[in-house]
Structure 1
Amino acid sequence: MKKNYLLMKKICAVMAVVLLLSCSEETTLVAVSGIEIRSEEYSLRPGETLQLTASLSPDDATGFDRAVWSSDDESVATVDPSGLVTGIREGEVTISVTTGYADASLTLRVGPDIYIVGDHGGLNTLWKNGRKVWSDGFGGKMSRILAQGGHTYIAAFATDPVTAYNHAWLYVDGEATQLSGRFSEAYAVAVSGNDVYVAGCECEDEEYDMLKNRPVLWHNGVPSYLADYGYANDVVVAGADIYVAGFVTHDWNNDATLWKNGRAQKLSDSGISAATGIAVHGEDVYVSGSDVDPETFTTYAVVWKNGIPERYEEHAVVTDICVSPEGDLFASGYVVDYANRTASAAMWKNRQRIDLDSGGLEANAMSIRISGGRVYVAGITRQAAGISATRAVLWVDGTLVPLEDDPRTSATAYSVAIVE
């Protein structure tokens, strides 16, 4: 009897300890006051996966094991119980996570990667899918980006802080190579196999003289000069042919010019013309630019098709050009309203003008590309009267998409490239 009593006493003691421990554990439970979804990227392509993580606050909160992930549109992207997102088709999707005490959500874009180069606060800058991902810390201009063969190529120039001279540079996957020690600027890049071509200008003299800039084409870093004076604004490789567009300067005149394998073709006799871009489709070569009527001094947006000019409209400039797989011709640029002293961004499809929402008074469309049936245009807007800062923007099928920046600091988007 005494043994049973002692045994029962021990059992009660153990149960008391367990009960105390249980109570102690309950008293250390920390409620979830907030939850945040973290991600290294904010977009993914169809078929790709992206791991999301959720962090609770406070840091010692409990209950994460009860987190539940969900997608608001599983036809665009799905998410598994660990937060792994799988892209299905192009579109936007909201991924949410909840613990029962708190919840959070994150909007992701499923689609191609969109690269844009330009400047932010006067510094060379690269945006990826709307977010600023890189800046080299140099003043200057990132003129053109090309995404090809799994690599990114950027034609640019940087300003020497001592001499204030610009120097042409080429970036390949972020690695920079200086192309010239003289005053020089790089405006465009094209790649064919192992050959890299960069178009730009270089001053003839050691001391800078703007009247002595020469149109230059660097082939794997080796320069060749296309004329005595002028500028090379774009380069395209089509098959075995190398096309360069720009203008030749002589006697205070500028003549829009197309070079094919080094041989020049003057596109205008007005004396005030310039070629800005090239697109090749089949046997047709299109060159964008501007021309001035020598009698009225009216500026016209022009596209030359196989050397024959087609005027788009007056008081306008075409800055870039491309052709869709279906053969539709697209151009970007701007139209000037002299009465109100403003400019508005525009694009043209087969010569038909489409005005782009500027979000303010001033706008300029600088670059245009077609991918997956969508039209991407990079450029700038000025948000309101009295504000001098411009904003770097992207238009997707005409819809304005501001890029990540500081609205108090000027930013410009010069070129866009799409990676499917």
Structure 2
Amino acid sequence: MKRINYLGMLSMALCLMVWACGKDDAPTTTPEPEPEPTAAPTISGFSPISGPVGTAVTIEGTNFSTTAANNTVTFGTVAATVASATATKIVASVPSGAVTGKVGVAVGGKTAASTKDFTVTVTEEEKNPSIGLDKEDFQLFRYDTAELAVVDKVDVDGDSPVAWSSDDEQIATVDENGTVKGLKVGTATITATVEEASASVTVTVDPNIYVAGYVQSSGSRQAVVWKNGVVTELTDGTKEAQANAVFVYGEDVYVVGHERDQDNNRRAMLWINGDQIALSNSLGITSSTAYDVVVNESGYYVVGEQSANAASIGRVWISNANDATLVEPGYETNVPRAISMDDQNNWYVSGYIRQDVDLDYKACYWTAGTAANPEILENDARAYDIQVVGDDVHVSGFRNVDGISAATTWKNGAGTDLTDGTSNSIAYSLFVTGTDIYAAGNDGNNSTVWKNGVVATLLNIDGNTSFAESVFVYGTDVYICGGSLQGDLIKAVLWKNGEPTVFFPEDSPTNNKAFSVFVD
């Protein structure tokens, strides 16, 4: 009896096992995924309509994927993270780097964009206001102007006013419109400020370089003045003319020289900022020319020569006082060449005189108190330039040494030869600064600059004969102007510290020469 029961139980267990295995082998079923929309998505709106980075934005529309990852949401051009999605609603966060622009949704390669912009705002903590300027550091010549403008405004109100400032208004100023004007040589920082943002540039103000002379392309010479290498014609070329000297006072440019009149006689001329003034001739004078000019608060002083027949007399034309006649009684030739002012605004004029054509010239200088009796520096000599510094009177020119013209400078009447006397030489110009005395001229065929009696620089260009006519020292820079023989033509040249600039190219069919340089 017990044995039968065991057999029954075993049979039952086997049946259960077979049933269980049969159940495992039966096919299983999974839910079908929801099909992706086949129509393009649309956006009907979103909220909120503005907010900073990280704001959760609900986008409403149609044909969105219910699978969040299958929706690509952009704010402008920056992709956002999608938090959740249904067929009609997506929630996404404003991504870092987003700027104000359209909201976009892409599903299955099909896209939609909002009709309105989402405005990306910045919290006070996130604001980093900044502006830029449309120029980097730049240069200006004195009295020239340049325009600055604010650009690249970030986190500032576009309508906010711009405040302009200069850290040194003696060097450069800036007005409310951003117009910068150079006033004095040096550097200044110009700053623009808008709300809490600012931007700065450095302006370097350079001196203006003026050179007076002539050009002759065809026909007659024309009087000209160069400013920073740009030429201005003072005459029209119908009559021969020449500019001999230039002087700058404030923003006004004074040039003197001559132009021939209808009778082909030379007439002394003064140009102020390009406007021509014919200087008066004394009674009986048929020809005149102006050689030099100085200007102070009282006005201009122009020195020159007037002639009639074989005689010549010196003249100082004074703008706000009586003119002065420079003569030495009994001398038929009186030729003043340069003028200088002392600290008390007394004028001094250098030149040379001669009793008649059979006698030698004498180097001399006149003063306001000795117009009829000049101070004789030396016999058989000529004086060309003069500069008064304190109580010292400096003159340059040449004197005869054993039949040779020797370039010479005089200080208070004591002469110093600048050459060894082996060739003819002349010092046309001098400039005194501190304890240094510079002179410029020629030694034989060599254009030369002397400093304190010693040759400092030879100025010939490519072995060509050159002519040094004028020297001016500004700071540590030494400027000389003159000319250089290039082929069959003379070319105007400006040297700065020995380096030449030829004002017209070698292949230009133009004769031209420079006689005076002024740096301001």
Are residue 259 (structure 1) and residue 259 (structure 2) matched?
no
Corresponding residue of 1:103: none
Aligned partner of residue 379 in structure 2, secondary structure: coil
Q: Which amino acid aligns with 1:397?
A: N
Equivalent residue for 2:338, pick from 234, 240, 254: 234
Whole-angstrom CA distance in 1 between matches of 2:242 and 2:278: 14
Corresponding residue of 1:56: none
Are residue 307 (structure 1) and residue 413 (structure 2) matched?
yes
Conserved? CA contact 1:365–1:378, under 8 Å: yes
Corresponding residue of 2:270: 170
Equivalent residue for 2:383, pick from 256, 266, 275: 275
Whole-angstrom CA distance in 1 between matches of 2:267 and 2:145: 40
Equivalent residue for 1:131, pick from 227, 230, 233: 230
Relative to structure 1, the CA distance from residue 173 to residue 311 in structure 2 (aligned partners, 3 Å threshold; closer, same or farther) is same
Aligned partner of residue 334 in structure 1, secondary structure: strand
Conserved? CA contact 2:352–2:363, under 8 Å: yes
Q: CA-to-partner distance for each residue in 1:87-145, whole Å, 9 max, x for gaps?
A: 89879xxxxxxxxxxxxxxxx99621111110010111111111213332242210110
Conserved? CA contact 1:189–1:196, under 8 Å: yes
- How far the C-alpha of 1:178 sits from its partner, in A, is 0.7
Corresponding residue of 1:364: 467
Whole-angstrom CA distance in 1 between matches of 2:379 and 2:250: 39
Corresponding residue of 1:104: none
Larger radius of gyration: 2
| Unmatched tracts of structure 1, length 5 or more | 1-7, 9-41, 53-83, 92-107, 337-342
Q: Which amino acid aligns with 1:241?
A: N
Q: CA-to-partner distance for each residue in 1:200-253, whole Å, 9 max, x for gaps?
A: 1001x3xxx3x3111111122854221152211001111242100001121322
Conserved? CA contact 2:361–2:379, under 8 Å: no
Are residue 246 (structure 1) and residue 246 (structure 2) matched?
no
How many aligned residue pairs are there?
Answer: 316
Are residue 200 (structure 1) and residue 301 (structure 2) matched?
no
| Unmatched tracts of structure 2, length 5 or more | 1-41, 43-137, 149-178, 188-202
- How far the C-alpha of 1:46 sits from its partner, in A, is 7.5
Whole-angstrom CA distance in 2 between matches of 1:301 and 1:246: 15
Whole-angstrom CA distance in 2 between matches of 1:331 and 1:285: 14
Q: Which amino acid aligns with 1:117?
A: A
Aligned partner of residue 137 in structure 1, secondary structure: coil
Q: Which amino acid aligns with 1:392?
A: A
- How far the C-alpha of 1:404 sits from its partner, in A, is 4.0
Equivalent residue for 1:179, pick from 258, 275, 279: 279
Equivalent residue for 1:392, pick from 466, 476, 492: 492
Whole-angstrom CA distance in 2 between matches of 1:346 and 1:363: 9
Whole-angstrom CA distance in 2 between matches of 1:89 and 1:411: 30
Aligned partner of residue 346 in structure 1, secondary structure: strand
Corresponding residue of 2:7: none
Whole-angstrom CA distance in 1 between matches of 2:510 and 2:271: 25
- How far the C-alpha of 1:175 sits from its partner, in A, is 1.6
Corresponding residue of 2:442: 334
Conserved? CA contact 2:143–2:251, under 8 Å: no
Q: What value does the CA root-mean-square deviation take over the aligned residues?
A: 3.0
Relative to structure 1, the CA distance from residue 381 to residue 47 in structure 2 (aligned partners, 3 Å threshold; closer, same or farther) is closer
Whole-angstrom CA distance in 2 between matches of 1:255 and 1:123: 32
Relative to structure 1, the CA distance from residue 212 to residue 245 in structure 2 (aligned partners, 3 Å threshold; closer, same or farther) is same
When normalised by structure 2's length, the TM-score is 0.56
Are residue 217 (structure 1) and residue 327 (structure 2) matched?
no
Are residue 45 (structure 1) and residue 144 (structure 2) matched?
no
Corresponding residue of 2:26: none
Percentage of pairs with the same residue:
25
Whole-angstrom CA distance in 2 between matches of 1:407 and 1:378: 19
